[in-house]
A and B are shown apart, each in its own frame.
Chain A
Amino acid sequence: MRITASPERLRALPIVPDPSRWYLAAVVAVMAFLAALAGIGLIALGDARRDWNGALGGTLTLELPADTSPPRLDVVLAMLRQTQGVTGADALDAAKTARLLEPWLGKSVPVDILPLPRLVDIRIEGGGAVDLDGLRQRLKSVAPEAQFDDHRLWLAKLLAASSRLQAIAAAILAATAAVAAASAAFSAGNGFARNGERIALLHALGAQDRDIAARFVLSAAGTGLAGGVLGGLAGAGVWATIAGMARSLDAPSFAPMVADRPVVLVIAAVMLASALIAASAAGLVARRRLLRLP
């Protein structure tokens, strides 16, 4: 007496839930790859934004003409110190100013003969909540030629751009999840149709919906996980290459992007999400199709 199925297969219902499993694995792999890159990008941008925000918070430099008289300078300092968000304002003396210029001029240049601008170092609160435009307006009345070092402006633009980039990365993440879910649903529907006659027979013989659906859920979870691992690893590889290049360039702007731990978490999350998304989409489709049976 021989039974053709192996003991393992005898335990589960004889359904081949996913005849297009390689197609599904490939689609999920590509989606996982894109999701991994988008996720890493999202985190890197978040890190960079924190750094830039910190830079925004720290200090601010005001530049006054070289011939600004000390009383006028005092008025400016007083006005600055009364401004909300400003925790301190000090004029740099000639020696300090000269030290700042040293890298460009060298030590041998007698800086005291140059018409060096008067620099005021302004310390501002962490949040960076200083009304720069208002301050500029008020300064105009006492020191019309006063100028802010405008790296803040540039940083603000960078921050705005990076938030748009983050939105794009989030949209890519959502799109990859949607495509993975749709592919898994399509694949499960295909599998259900191909097994239609046998599923109807199993149903007639008393199989429970949950047992039939479980075959689709487990199969899609396995396929999704395989695709997710493949795509996630590819994403990690690309990331490692970029990070390696950034390190070898010694470019400080890349420095916040090479934190490894969050990247590992993102890759793991992408792999897990691939399995979960595929499994739930397949389970949903199987359940809905089963409801068509009496």
Chain B
Amino acid sequence: MVRLQNVAKRYGEGPEILHDVSFALAPGSFHFLTGAGGSGKTTLLNLIALAERASAGALTLFDVATDGASRAMRAQLRRRIGMLYQDCRLDGNLSVADNVALPLRIDGTPTQTQRDHVAAMLDWLGISGKSAALPAVLSDAERQRVALARAIVRRPDLLLADEPLVSGDEEVALLLVDAFERMTQLGTTVLVATRDAGFAARFLHPRLHLDGGALSNGEASS
């Protein structure tokens, strides 16, 4: 599903943000990616989401070697990935429904199907009342649900979440983890980055721990 082999990343001549990272995620698995701020979690997620290119090593997604893949192929691979950004990355000029519909629109999904999927998604996350609202008027928790809806509206094969649990809202955090777990039951591979190792430790899901850009083999201290 996802396989990294000796992946390294540095920007220009700067220091290595990631070095020699190797791991594989099985289909339908749920992993936490823990590590302190600045340990390279976001960079690692961006590499897997094909938002960055590794400076060394190989990344295989859905059995496709991404290094030699064409731009069109990389775009095709991105369509199988849902990404929950730390800052939500909603489009401030589009309504909640339009934001959630963006991935379907990119795929060229028929308009009526788009409407149905978006409505079902907002309904499931309990924000259907906000579908016409602009992101600016939403609370942080609502914004995060919209971002989640957009990340999973396509039923992605791989779901990446960057620091989704930091809002300090225990209820939201639990709802998100619950949603992620449901996704794995549908066959989605989930990787959740968090600096809150203690929260991650409350679940039985395996943890990958980044320390200074390198994967440490043992379990993170909790």
Chain A residues within 8 Å of B, Cβ to Cβ: 1-5, 7, 10-11, 13-14, 197-198, 201-211, 294
Whether A1 lies near B111 (C-beta < 8 A) is: no
Whether B51 lies near A14 (C-beta < 8 A) is: no
- 0 or 1 for each of B67-104: is its CB under 8 Å from A? (1 = yes): 00001101111110101000001010111011001110
Whether A205 lies near B132 (C-beta < 8 A) is: no
Q: Once the chains are docked, how many angstroms separate the CA of A201 from the CA of B100?
A: 12
Give the top 4 A-B pairs by smallest Cβ distance, nearest first.
A206-B79, A206-B78, A1-B119, A207-B106
30 interchain pairs (CB within 8 A)?
A: A1-B97, A1-B115, A1-B118, A1-B122, A1-B131, A2-B97, A2-B131, A2-B132, A3-B97, A3-B131, A4-B132, A7-B111, A10-B101, A13-B105, A13-B106, A202-B102, A204-B49, A204-B78, A206-B75, A206-B76, A206-B78, A206-B81, A207-B106, A209-B71, A209-B72, A209-B75, A211-B106, A294-B51, A294-B53, A294-B74
- 0 or 1 for each of B122-145: is its CB under 8 Å from A? (1 = yes): 100000100110000000000000
Q: Once the chains are docked, how many angstroms separate the CA of A64 from the CA of B74?
A: 87
Tell me if B52 counts as interface (CB < 8 A to partner A): yes
Report the number of A-B residue pairs with Cβ-Cβ less than 8 Å.
82
B50 to chain A, nearest CB (A): 7
Question: Of all chain B residues, which has the CB nearest A209?
Answer: B71
Q: Which one, B76, B77, B89, contacts A201 given CB within 8 A?
A: B89
Whether B114 lies near A10 (C-beta < 8 A) is: yes
Q: Which one, A205, A209, A294, contacts B106 given CB within 8 A?
A: A205
Whether A204 lies near B51 (C-beta < 8 A) is: yes
Contacts A2-B131, A205-B78, A206-B103 supplied; 7 other A-B pairs, CB < 8 Å: A1-B131, A2-B132, A4-B132, A201-B91, A204-B78, A206-B81, A294-B52
Whether B115 lies near A3 (C-beta < 8 A) is: yes
Q: Which residues of B contact A207 (CB under 8 A)?
A: 75, 106
Q: Once the chains are docked, how many angstroms separate the CA of A22 from the CA of B102?
A: 28
Most chain B CB inside 10 Å of its own CB: which residue of A11, A202, A204: A204
Whether B111 lies near A11 (C-beta < 8 A) is: yes
Q: Which residues of A contact B111 (CB under 8 A)?
A: 7, 10-11
Whether B102 lies near A201 (C-beta < 8 A) is: yes
Question: Of all chain A residues, which has the CB nearest B99?
Answer: A201
Most chain A CB inside 10 Å of its own CB: which residue of B93, B105, B119, B131: B105
Q: Which residues of A contact B107 (CB under 8 A)?
A: 206
Q: Once the chains are docked, how many angstroms separate the CA of A63 from the CA of B107?
A: 85
Whether B114 lies near A1 (C-beta < 8 A) is: no
Q: Once the chains are docked, how many angstroms separate the CA of A208 from the CA of B72?
A: 6
Whether A4 lies near B53 (C-beta < 8 A) is: no
Q: Once the chains are docked, how many angstroms separate the CA of A202 from the CA of B79?
A: 11
Most chain B CB inside 10 Å of its own CB: which residue of A1, A7, A197: A1
B8 to chain A, nearest CB (A): 17
Question: Of all chain A residues, which has the CB nearest B90?
Answer: A201
Contact (A4, B95) CB under 8 Å given A10-B105, A208-B75: yes
Q: Which residues of A contact B79 (CB under 8 A)?
A: 205-206
Question: Of all chain A residues, which has the CB nearest B120?
Answer: A1
Q: Once the chains are docked, how many angstroms separate the CA of A208 from the CA of B70?
A: 11
Q: Once the chains are docked, how many angstroms separate the CA of A14 from the CA of B49?
A: 22
Q: Which residues of A contact B115 (CB under 8 A)?
A: 1, 3
Contact (A204, B83) CB under 8 Å given A2-B131, A3-B95, A4-B132: yes
Question: Of all chain A residues, which has the CB nearest B108?
Answer: A11
Q: Which residues of A contact B97 (CB under 8 A)?
A: 1-4
Q: Which residues of B contact A7 (CB under 8 A)?
A: 111
Whether B51 lies near A202 (C-beta < 8 A) is: no
Q: Once the chains are docked, how many angstroms separate the CA of A1 from the CA of B49?
A: 31
Q: Which residues of B contact A4 (CB under 8 A)?
A: 94-95, 97-98, 132
Q: Which residues of B contact A3 (CB under 8 A)?
A: 95, 97-98, 101, 114-115, 118, 131
Question: Of all chain B residues, which has the CB nearest A4?
Answer: B95
Most chain B CB inside 10 Å of its own CB: which residue of A3, A10, A207, A294: A3
Q: Once the chains are docked, how many angstroms separate the CA of A4 from the CA of B78?
A: 26
A27 to chain B, nearest CB (A): 28
Whether B75 lies near A1 (C-beta < 8 A) is: no
Whether A206 lies near B106 (C-beta < 8 A) is: yes
Q: Which residues of B contact A10 (CB under 8 A)?
A: 101, 105, 111, 114
Question: Of all chain B residues, which has the CB nearest A11?
Answer: B111
Whether B128 lies near A205 (C-beta < 8 A) is: no
Question: Of all chain B residues, which has the CB nearest A207?
Answer: B106
Q: Which residues of B contact A202 (CB under 8 A)?
A: 102, 106
